[in-house]
Amino acid sequence: MELIETAIAGALIIEPRVFGDERGFFLESWNADTFAAAGLDMQFVQDNHSRSARGVLRGLHYQLPGEQGKLVRVTRGAVFDVAVDIRRSSPTFGKWAGVELSAANKRMFWLPAGLAHGFLCLEDGTDFLYKCTAVYQPQHEHCIRWDDPAIGIEWPLGDIVPQLSSKDAEGQAFGEAMTFP
């Protein structure tokens, strides 16, 4: 497995070892020993799976308290996945990192606790999977606007008009959002 650093401290793109032939492929999406040997010693307590149509934009979500680290990947379709550092003590506070995750590239994205997270679906029927280090607590969920100019995320919209939930459409401005110490 190869770890690729991003513009955010601790957020990593993970390229798993893929073994393939004319029959298909095999990869380990999670192995506690392998990840720990690479310096990523985490314990997951919840797995989630969502399916979305092209143009669906989810986020930017986070929990406080009850912050979650997330290991995310796509098993069908493609997304542009984004993390925003909302840890005031971090040298990368307020910065964002984005990566295309797809069934074709098999990449994963590790987002440590203290980041807001969102993604834009680039293909219909995209299956997005994520492992979480803390359970979902809806009463502690927060949302920052996906298009806040203070963050300046460069979403690859092209001809896409984002489809947002009402919660995401009403996200807070970055400057008004609750952040981590």
Q: Catalytic positions, please?
A: 61, 130
Sheet of 108-111, strands arranged across: 2-5, 12-15, 108-111, 70-76, 126-132, 46-52
Q: Is the peptide bond before 60 cis (omega within 30 degrees of 0)?
A: yes
In this structure, how many other beta carbons lie within 10 angstroms of the beta carbon of residue 171? 22
| Phi and psi, residue 71, nearest 5° | -110, 115
Pairwise CA distance, residues 161 & 164, whole Å: 10
Write out the two tokens for 107.
């990449």
In sign, the C-alpha dihedral spanning 151, 83, 164, 62 is negative
List residues bridging with 84 in a β-sheet.
96, 116
For residue 159, CA distances in Å to 15, 74, 162 come to: 29, 22, 10
